Amino acid sequence: MSILAATLLATAVLRPSGWGGTERVPALARVVVLGASLSQGYGLERDAGAPVHMADVVEASLRAEHEPVRRQTALLFFTDPLPIGRSQVEKAAAADPTLVVGIDFLFWYGYGSFATEAGRMAMLENGLALLETFRCPVIVGDFPDVADASRDTARGGGQQKLLAPEQVPPPESLKQLNERLRSWAGEHKSVVVVPVADLVARLHSGKDVEIRGNHWSGAALAGLIQRDRLHPTLEGEVALWLGSLDAFVRSRPDLPDSAFDWDAGAIAKRIRESRAKPVAPAKDAPAKGRG
């Protein structure tokens, strides 16, 4: 099977059954996903039986006519955020995106070990400067409180901590990070900030989550997060994306609700079923000068 045929097959499998391919929404023509381990789909292979990325979730939700969703994500983003983030942005820009999805792109520009809290805030400015290079709409997540992932008691037992305590911003710094992000977004009208912090807080408190007719409570709510207490499950990834979409659509009166599939269960099912078939992974955005 050729690469083109495999890509077309993957797109056909992930599109909702009601997708007609006739509606065109300019902002959705070329979507590129940036980010770290969440966008890379950390842990979702165990959940879905095959690798799944945030780009796959985005692809599975789009009804409007569009090119295959591209991605530039890195599992080891935390090892060197400045050059990795710069590389992602440059490669994404080469794809001439109409929408950039970076739900966890800024995470390691706020989390991480810093000699001073002033250094932490300076790192955030570096991340914001990278995102300013885009002229298209940008969806970016705020900073959640995931200190629970740095504590010794792991849910279910036997789970390695993925965050060291010194990588977690103190509460006052976390507040400042989110205040600065929202202030910056207010100066860039094409930026939509996703309230990831609110979703994580609801998970911790056991409060129900409802997004566009999808409702999670009790065991379903607990099932949105993996045992590492940091990364979402497939259902959690879908919920996070639908929450992001909801914020995006609310900010853009030109975006019809019909451009998306809002059924979380149907999206997750579609992805799982697609993983049982030989489909191509989400296409990477081309790099400048790549041969």
Residue 185 pLDDT greater than 90, yes or no = yes
Q: Work out the pLDDT band at 276, boundaries 50, 70, 90.
A: confident
The pLDDT value recorded for residue 1 is 33
Instruction: Work out the average pLDDT over 261-274.
Output: 94
Q: Give tens-digit pLDDT for 216-267.
A: 999 999 999 998 889 999 999 999 999 999 999 999 988 999 999 999 999 9
The pLDDT value recorded for residue 282 is 58
Structural domains of the chain ordered from first start: 3-277 (3.40.50.1110)
Q: Are 194 and 141 in contact (CB under 8 A)?
A: yes
Q: Give tens-digit pLDDT for 10-23.
A: 333 344 433 444 47
Query: For the whole model, what pTM was predicted?
Result: 0.85
Q: Give tens-digit pLDDT for 70-86.
A: 999 999 999 999 999 99
Instruction: Work out the average pLDDT over 17-37.
Output: 79
The pLDDT value recorded for residue 16 is 42
- 275 vs 57: CA distance, rounded Å: 12
Q: Give tens-digit pLDDT for 135-176.
A: 999 999 999 999 989 886 544 445 578 899 999 999 999 999
- 194 vs 142: CA distance, rounded Å: 6
99 or 49, higher pLDDT: 99
The pLDDT value recorded for residue 18 is 38
Instruction: Work out the average pLDDT over 200-218.
Output: 92
Using the Cα atoms of residue 132, residue 134, residue 135 and residue 140 in order, give the sign of their dihedral.
Answer: negative
Whole-number mean pLDDT of the chain? 87
Q: Work out the pLDDT band at 117, boundaries 50, 70, 90.
A: very high
